[in-house]
A and B are shown apart, each in its own frame.
Chain A
Amino acid sequence: MIGDLPKGLRAHLPILYPAVTLVVFFVIPFGIMLAVSFFQREPGGFYTTDFSIDNYANLFTALFGRVLTFSIFISAFCALICVAVGFPFTYFITRMPRRAQVVWLVILVSVLSLSAVIVAFAWSLLLSQTAGVSNLFVWLGLMEKPVSWSPGFWALTCGMCYIAFPYTVLVLYPPLSRLDPHLPEAAQTLGASPVATFFTVVVGSLRNAIVATLIMVFAFTLGTYLIPTILGRPQHWTLSVLITDEAIYRSNLPFAAAMSVFFMVVSLALVGLTMLAGKGRGPVQR
């Protein structure tokens, strides 16, 4: 019967293989990384076993502080843009006929699945001098001659929003499609304008979902690695770039591991916040 307690070893068999695989290939790697973050770097090799908190102490440098601040700033900025545009957008598509919804979802999932390398390449072309949108502006008479807008802060913002936008919509899609359609109708019957209805009823009843989405999109953009290296200048590098740089090009695995642990603590704190924000949603949903 479904919902039984598993009886004996035989009943436990199906879970043995997944559990062992996940422990060996996820929990143990994670543990190794945690351990390595306390090791000493060995010039020319990987590391030597040790217990020192030097790697963590080394975190407190001006460079790390600057990169961390910029990472948080750019991620928060992109999350705000994505949610501000994505919320009304998602609201519109959830009110569409199912067929149209599926078409939009296919476009969004396809964009979301694209490698960050490809997104960065596509945007660097779109903002380039020879093939970019500035040519269109020249043709329209808005500009004198075509220019290159990449790399740069706005190129980076475009690229990050491009990968974060579909994610935002997909996170907002479930709560918005569960929103009772009678609520906005009732508000309008009572005389509220469509704009007022949108802001007071739709936004109001999904306040927690919006906050949760903001945090999730923030955490998502915080993890991007390739976009800043291609569309940004060195001063636009994020924490993910710094970690990869340290691990691969400087072969300082212990320091990279310490940065990752710190980064993970920040991310976990964010996930915790998301869960808090996700709680206590009102009874307005079906």
Chain B
Amino acid sequence: MNKALRPVFLSLVLIFLLSPIVVVGGVSLNEKKALYFPPQGVSLAWYVELVTEADWLVPIENSMIIATLSSLAALSIALPLAYFLWRYRVFYARAIFMLGVAPFMLPPVITALGFLAFWATVGLYGEMAATIVSHAVFFVTLPLVTISLGFESIDREIVEAAETMGADSKAVFRTVVLPMVRSYMVSGYAFCFVLSLNEYIVAYMVSGFTVETLPIKIFNALRYGYTPVMASVTIFFVVLAALIFGLIGRFGDLPRLMGALTPESRNT
């Protein structure tokens, strides 16, 4: 493509990606309860409301608890699984890996409906614990793939050296393997955390009427008319995501993680 057109094209894409966020950011600053862009007057009242009104504080708290715990649970499932698949060669390895990837690959509404049917049968429908476990299983793919990538990047000779020096597999895991995959675990956790915070359909189907998460709250609020608080909560989400992925980009290997997270490259 023409060299002169390239910056124009890239700018257009950037405008497409950023303009909704810019408008929302502007609207969140409106002084009165109205949605104008450019904003009429400048005020941070809508950000204050976000952290003072129970209406919004409760969903924020719910979402934070769910995201924190479900990512932790996802990590706890992914780590031993990735370790086992790296450490040993078994004939069912591929099947069990697919099992970890499947919840994320199916259309979300299908996985969500499966969870709904399950929790209704078990009798935990509407409980926060159900949302936490469902999110952990739904997002287990992310830490599984990132941590597997971490294991693959370990030079096998280092492990062999440690074994030659007399370390048993526990010691090898603790002193050699774990430090080397730690940054991948952090990335996997962060991905999981952000996506859980933003997830709607599973949380809604599993316990949407009793445990209101932030996306559910926004959706419910949309039906009763728009307020600038929604704009401020959106900016909160955008900043949080940009911050977390910015840190991964700064300290982690984002291009490589991207290569691993997309299934297209895994098929080969």
Q: Which chain A residue lies CB-closest to B213? A: A115
Minimum CB–CB distance from A143 to chain B (whole Å) comes to 16
How far, in angstroms, from A92 to B28 measured CA to CA in the complex?
Answer: 34
Is B77 in contact with A18, judged by CB distance below 8 angstroms? yes
How far, in angstroms, from A177 to B102 measured CA to CA in the complex?
Answer: 26
B81 within 8 A of A: yes
Residue numbers in A under 8 Å from B106 (CB-CB): 223, 264, 267
User: Considering the complex, which residues of chain B in the window 64-88 have a beta carbon less than 8 Å from any beta carbon of chain A?
Assistant: 76-78, 80-81, 83-84, 86-88
Is B118 in contact with A102, judged by CB distance below 8 angstroms? no
How far, in angstroms, from A11 to B169 measured CA to CA in the complex?
Answer: 10
Q: Which chain A residue lies CB-closest to B110? A: A260
Known: A101-B255, A131-B35. A126 touches B23 (CB 8 A): yes
Is A125 in contact with B231, judged by CB distance below 8 angstroms? yes
How far, in angstroms, from A121 to B36 measured CA to CA in the complex?
Answer: 14
Stretch at the interface among B50-58, B156-164, B178-186: B156-164
Residue numbers in A under 8 Å from B24 (CB-CB): 121-122, 125
Minimum CB–CB distance from B101 to chain A (whole Å) comes to 10
Bitwise interface map of B from 220 to 248 toward A, beta carbon under 8 Å scored 1, else 0: 00100010001100100110011001101
Residue numbers in A under 8 Å from B23 (CB-CB): 122, 125-126, 131-132
Is A18 in contact with B80, judged by CB distance below 8 angstroms? yes
Minimum CB–CB distance from A164 to chain B (whole Å) comes to 12
Among B88, B133, B160, point to the contact of A25 (Cβ < 8 A): B133
Choose among A17, A107, A281 the residue with the greatest number of B CB atoms under 10 Å from its CB.
Answer: A107
B13 within 8 A of A: yes
From DSSP, what is the main secondary structure of chain B's interface residues? helix
Residue numbers in B under 8 Å from A162 (CB-CB): 16-17, 20
B41 within 8 A of A: no
Is A11 in contact with B88, judged by CB distance below 8 angstroms? yes
A244 within 8 A of B: yes
Known: A121-B234, A195-B1. A213 touches B264 (CB 8 A): yes
A6 within 8 A of B: yes
Among A4, A125, A194, A253, point to the contact of B27 (Cβ < 8 A): A125
A157 within 8 A of B: no
Q: Which chain B residue lies CB-closest to A94? A: B255
Known: A25-B133, A110-B238. A130 touches B34 (CB 8 A): yes
From DSSP, what is the main secondary structure of chain A's interface residues? helix
A209 within 8 A of B: yes
Minimum CB–CB distance from B15 to chain A (whole Å) comes to 10
A83 within 8 A of B: no
How far, in angstroms, from A103 to B10 measured CA to CA in the complex?
Answer: 13
Is B264 in contact with A174, judged by CB distance below 8 angstroms? yes
Minimum CB–CB distance from A205 to chain B (whole Å) comes to 15
Minimum CB–CB distance from A264 to chain B (whole Å) comes to 5
Is B245 in contact with A243, judged by CB distance below 8 angstroms? no
B265 within 8 A of A: yes
Stretch at the interface among A52-60, A61-69, A270-278: A270-278
Is B118 in contact with A105, judged by CB distance below 8 angstroms? no
6 CB-based A-B contacts, threshold 8 Å: A4-B89, A131-B36, A133-B19, A171-B263, A244-B205, A263-B109
What residues of chain B have their CB less than 8 Å away from a CB belonging to chain A? 1-3, 6, 9-10, 13-14, 16-21, 23-24, 26-27, 34-37, 76-78, 80-81, 83-84, 86-90, 96, 99-100, 102-103, 105-118, 120-121, 133-134, 136-137, 140, 156, 159-160, 163, 191, 194-195, 197-201, 204-205, 208, 214-215, 218-219, 222, 226, 230-231, 234, 237-238, 241-242, 245-246, 248-250, 254-255, 258-259, 261-265, 267-268
